[in-house]
Structure 1
Amino acid sequence: MPQNPVAGTGTRIAAYRRLCRLTQTQLATKANISYSLLVKVEQGRRPASGPLVAAVARALGVPVTTFTGQPYATDHAHDRLDGPLADLRASLDNWDLPLDEVAVRGMSEIGADVRLVLEARRASNYAKIVSMAPSLIDELVQVSQTATGEAEERANRMLVHVYRSAYDVAYNLGLSDLVSLLLSRMDYSVGRGNDPYLMALHHYMRAYATFSTGRLEVGQAIISRALTIVEDGVRAAEVPALCSAGNLRLRAAMLACRRGDADTARGELSEARQLANQLGREVTGGGNDGPHVQSFGPTNVAIHASAVEMELGNHGRALQLAKEVRPPADYFPDRLGHFWIDTARAQLSTGKTDAALSSLFKARAVAPQQAKYHPSVRETVSGLVHAARRAPDTLIGYASWCGAEL
């Protein structure tokens, strides 16, 4: 179905439903969702939640991005992402061949740039990631194919982190084909990097991709397999293992939410909380914890506790839990941005429209590119516009900035 960049999610769902010659009752039954809720979403009177969009996408056999309106190609051009994204795609053509024409710097210089890319990922700075990643990939592939021993493994481990950073960009921009390609390249380098925790990270990212396809049961199976990779380290209370398992449990909780399985979601969240309590601190990755340790800790669990209730439709409870989130002053912008985006969704659903707009501005302040391209932002802004008798200038300005429907 051709994308209409102006239409909202509900409008797209209605259009595709008609294309498939289904009534609202038939689609609601097929997707196992509330008929009245589907009607309200199609009419624009209720924002489309992640679980609803995933259920409809699965029922109709299409990617979630069919309804979210991604990849927002007009905005890519406006923000000058088109050229760097094309360069990124070209860099992924080679992953296993040495090329004489590729000039390679010293590994210390390359490593410094990899750290900059990782910092850009935490800041959701998509433009910086896609501008730096292509040349780094070329260099690291060259090293990985010409070096031996520890140097080869180190190059592959660095490649995994660059691919993962680029994956975050591709996923958040709705570029599903690029997501699949980056997962494939990650898989190749993980196999040559000699690090089980990077293998678990690849599984984590692979499970993440199932949110877009609606194959949530596949995502849960992937998480289960990944947990076996780190189980020995968890029993030994190794920090990398606790962090990896904690993140996997949180991802499993969100997958369960999307399937409407509240008991499993809360059970996985409880497992993650126990792991965070065992750590007793915020692990930021890098430093004394090692360069390949995933960040994890009590704040991440607290953020997900609110997100779980929101995804399950318990918006009042989600907002109560959101008040308990007290992140450190230097907490990760990408997680904070996501937290404020989710909080805005819950506030809109409980009629707190002024608070919702305030939360969106907080998301924009900490992670502007995430706040612009996250599909939930556009859905929430459209809902705020629909709910307002007279939309304030601040809301109109935000809608214009992020490309939401007015």
Structure 2
Amino acid sequence: MEVAEEPIGRRVAQWRQRRGMSQQVFADRIGKSKSWVDKVERGVRRLDKYSVICDIAQVLGVDTSQLMGREPQRQPGLSSCLDQAEVESIRQSLERYERLGIFLQAASLDSKPIPELKKTVAYTWAAMEKGHYPVVARSLIELLRATPIAQENPIDGTAAEASEILTQVYQIASSVLRKLGEPQLAWLAADRSISAAQRGNDPLLAGTATARVANSLRALGRHQAALDLNVQVAHGLMAEHVADEPTPQALSVYGFLLLQGAMAAALAGESATCKDLLDSADIAAQRMGDDGNYYWTSFGPTNVALHRAAAHVELGEGRAALAVHAQINPAKLNDLVAERRAHHYLDMARACVQIGDWSKAGKALSLAHRTAHSEVRCRPVAHSLIDHILHHSKGSSPPEVMALAEQCGLTK
């Protein structure tokens, strides 16, 4: 059996730390001394007994092959970027109800200070916008445990602040789960984000939470319900916060809802409604004057153009999508967050496929990968696109697609 050059003890240490276990806790769980664990991890003591390796793998929640330096074959979606223990941890966190308080003994657990949670959420948003989905998911594991507890016992802050943090945590969870092909879990997280937002004092967070719910409905194929929800909340936001003297923040959330509604309309085949919503979003973007990223919306004239191109793709109008793309200012596009740019390049790859330009599709995929590689490696939609090109392009597939297929574990 061929093993990797990295010592097995170092891999044990990495997985132990990834699981948040101290050497003493880990030693207790495998029935060894802390000194034994330390020597194994430093390479002073050899770990060559297969039965012991199996015991360690079970405690760490990984395959024995991973400890021995051989990654198991994984499938597209969440498990492409996370190991099974991390997937299950997120699922269990979403299925818990910490706000039942004393009934689940949540109040007795340690609560983290509000400022510390805010920093962690800001870090997780930054990772999300860079398309670092494995990093995002691993941060969520801790945040999904800690933030509900902070609502019951807020330290250096208020319960309302904790709720506003929690709605962000659920919104991040919903977005990444939807991207990674888990629409049911994404819907559950988005639904929780609405409830958390209502316990806070920021109505704009409720607006973005609504968009996450609608996006989850869209991912579940409920396009009309997603359209109606986005439009209704956008109209309410217009009346309350946008009609008179709107702030850039209010305009961003309002425009964000319109854009998500436009995408739902496109998927529902309602091209006229889609165009109307995009035009309304464009008016809001022009009122802002330039691109911004208030409330993590990346809203502005450039993002409206990206959604206009994406809508054409969903309507099967690849040539029109590419024409919109050609009019976008490259410098403005490059100023957007990496996730938004990579997502756009995936859309343009789809547009190229629609017009049968396999070479340009490969180049767009490669550009998406260079911009935010997890947007390609982790997303089922990207895997499906690569697989489609591999099996439908005439002659040899574009070299960029062949390279990405190998990196993603796909074969022709």
Fold in common (TM above 0.5): yes
The answer as to 2:249 corresponding to 1:247 is no
Q: For residue 199 of structure 2, what is the amino acid of its counterpart? A: R
The answer as to 2:221 corresponding to 1:218 is no
Residue of structure 1 in register with 2:196 after alignment: 189
Residue of structure 2 in register with 1:374 after alignment: 379
Q: How far apart are the structure 1 equivalents of 2:90 and 2:393?
A: 40
Q: Is the 8 A contact 2:292 2:300 kept in 1?
A: yes
- Count of matched residue positions in the alignment of Structure 1 and Structure 2: 329
Q: How far apart are the structure 2 equivalents of 1:261 and 1:377?
A: 25
Q: How far apart are the structure 2 equivalents of 1:76 and 1:180?
A: 15
Q: How far apart are the structure 1 equivalents of 2:400 and 2:223?
A: 37
Larger relative contact order (Cα-Cα within 8 Å, sequence gap ≥ 6):
1
User: Offset at 1:184?
Assistant: 2.9
User: Offset at 1:222?
Assistant: 0.7
Residue of structure 1 in register with 2:31 after alignment: none
Q: Is the 8 A contact 1:242 1:279 kept in 2?
A: yes
User: Offset at 1:104?
Assistant: 2.9
Residue of structure 1 in register with 2:402 after alignment: 396
Q: 1:139 to 1:349 in 2, by over 3 A?
A: same
Q: Which moved more, 1:373-382 or 1:262-271?
A: 373-382
Q: Is the 8 A contact 1:240 1:293 kept in 2?
A: no
The answer as to 2:332 corresponding to 1:323 is no
Identity %: 23
Flag structure 1 segments of 5+ consecutive residues without an equivalent: 1-71, 286-291
The answer as to 2:284 corresponding to 1:275 is yes
The answer as to 2:351 corresponding to 1:346 is yes
Residue of structure 2 in register with 1:170 after alignment: 177
Q: How far apart are the structure 2 equivalents of 1:73 and 1:389?
A: 27
Q: How far apart are the structure 2 equivalents of 1:307 and 1:392?
A: 23
User: Offset at 1:78?
Assistant: 5.4
Instruction: Give the counterpart of 2:113 among 106, 114, 126.
Output: 106
Cα-Cα RMSD: 2.2
Q: How far apart are the structure 2 equivalents of 1:87 and 1:365?
A: 30
Q: For residue 81 of structure 1, what is the amino acid of its counterpart? A: D
Q: How far apart are the structure 1 equivalents of 2:279 and 2:298?
A: 18
The answer as to 2:95 corresponding to 1:88 is no
User: Offset at 1:83?
Assistant: 1.9
- TM-score norm. by structure 1 comes to 0.75
Q: How far apart are the structure 1 equivalents of 2:289 and 2:217?
A: 31
For 1:43-122, list aligned pairs within 5 A. Answer: 73=75, 76-77=78-79, 79-92=81-94, 93-98=96-101, 99-122=106-129
User: Offset at 1:374?
Assistant: 2.9
Q: How far apart are the structure 1 equivalents of 2:405 and 2:127?
A: 25
Q: 1:389 to 1:173 in 2, by over 3 A?
A: same
User: Offset at 1:332?
Assistant: 0.8
Q: How far apart are the structure 1 equivalents of 2:76 and 2:225?
A: 32
Q: 1:126 to 1:81 in 2, by over 3 A?
A: farther
Q: How far apart are the structure 2 equivalents of 1:74 and 1:348?
A: 21
Residue of structure 1 in register with 2:274 after alignment: 265
Flag structure 2 segments of 5+ consecutive residues without an equivalent: 1-73
Q: Over residues 279-327 of structure 1, what are the superposed CA-to-partner deviations in whole Å (9 max), with x where a residue is unaligned?
A: 0011122xxxxxx464311110010111122222221111111112223
User: Offset at 1:228?
Assistant: 3.3
Residue of structure 1 in register with 2:393 after alignment: 387
Q: For residue 262 of structure 2, what is the amino acid of its counterpart? A: A
User: Offset at 1:404?
Assistant: 4.3
Higher alpha-carbon Rg: 2
Q: Over residues 56-76 of structure 1, what are the superposed CA-to-partner deviations in whole Å (9 max), with x where a residue is unaligned?
A: xxxxxxxxxxxxxxxx74665
- TM-score norm. by structure 2 comes to 0.74
Q: How far apart are the structure 1 equivalents of 2:364 and 2:379?
A: 14
Q: Is the 8 A contact 1:223 1:252 kept in 2?
A: yes
